């Protein structure tokens, strides 16, 4: 991974102050996603960091978190020929689910996945676009473990270092992969 690649990706991300509420700086990746070179590079860099940091032969599935995590999780699952599990907001899945509620940096949320999405012994990577406080990833980790899975790593395009999500996940024994750090 080269500095020019990081600078290029950074240049494609729109900053939106005071969204979704006053005091929050939102990193809008839609401007990166619409750029073919930028989107491809983002997937390539996340994949490169995964290859460097974990044994992908052990991984059985990628867990992608609604909604922007679906984009990256699907691309990575395809690239590495692994299964894909979607983790959704409450009330969005049609079959029997398991759920977990947690605090966000700006509120409370609940995530769910189907009870049959993970098999006992699955080795997993959680994927989302951004790591902030770690609440969503920790909730997803809890769901995965409750269903008998083991999360080996979490992969993010962006990490907001000052919000401490990395430390919380590493305390659970999870390796953190991130490309852009703010």
Q: E strands along 8-149, which residues?
A: 14-17, 25-28, 61-65, 83-89, 97-104, 107-114, 123-131
pLDDT (tens digit per residue) in 19-69: 988 998 999 999 999 999 999 999 999 999 999 999 999 999 999 999 999
Q: pTM of this prediction?
A: 0.95
| Number of Cβ within a 10 Å radius of residue 7 | 9
Cα gap 86→70, rounded to integer Å: 7
Q: How many CB atoms lie within 10 A of CB 54?
A: 17
| Distance from chain centroid for Cα 30 | 16
Task: Based on the residue annotation, tell me whether 105 is a catalytic residue of this protein.
Answer: yes
Q: Is 14 one of the annotated active-site residues of the chain?
A: no
Predicted confidence band at 106 (pLDDT cuts at 50, 70, 90)? Answer: low
Q: What is the pLDDT of residue 20?
A: 86
Domains recognised in the chain with CATH numbers: 55-181 (3.40.50.2020)
- Catalytic-labelled residue, pool 48, 66, 79, 105: 105
42: helix, strand or coil: helix
Choosing from 68, 112, 159, 166, the catalytic residue is 68
Whole-number pLDDT of residue 121: 97
Phi–psi pair at 54, nearest 5 degrees: -140, 165
Packing angle, helices 68-80 and 36-53, rounded to 10: 60
């Amino acid at each position: 991974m080269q500095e020019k690649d990081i600078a290029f990706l950074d240049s494609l991300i729109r900053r939106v102050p005071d969204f979704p509420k006053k005091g929050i700086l939102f990193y809008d990746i839609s401007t990166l996603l619409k750029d073919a070179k930028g989107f491809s590079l983002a997937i390539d860099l996340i994949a490169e960091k995964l290859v460097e940091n974990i044994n992908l032969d052990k991984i059985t599935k990628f867990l992608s978190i609604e909604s922007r995590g679906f984009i990256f999780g699907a691309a990575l699952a395809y690239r590495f020929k692994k299964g894909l599990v979607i983790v959704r907001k409450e009330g969005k899945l049609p079959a029997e689910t398991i759920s977990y509620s947690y605090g966000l940096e700006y509120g409370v949320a609940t995530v769910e996945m189907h009870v049959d999405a993970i098999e006992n012994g699955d080795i997993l990577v959680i994927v989302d676009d951004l790591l902030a406080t770690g609440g969503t990833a920790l909730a997803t980790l809890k769901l995965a473990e409750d269903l008998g899975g083991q999360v080996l790593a979490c992969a993010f395009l962006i990490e907001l270092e000052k919000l401490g999500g990395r430390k919380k996940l590493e305390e659970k024994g999870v390796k953190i992969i991130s490309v852009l750090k703010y």
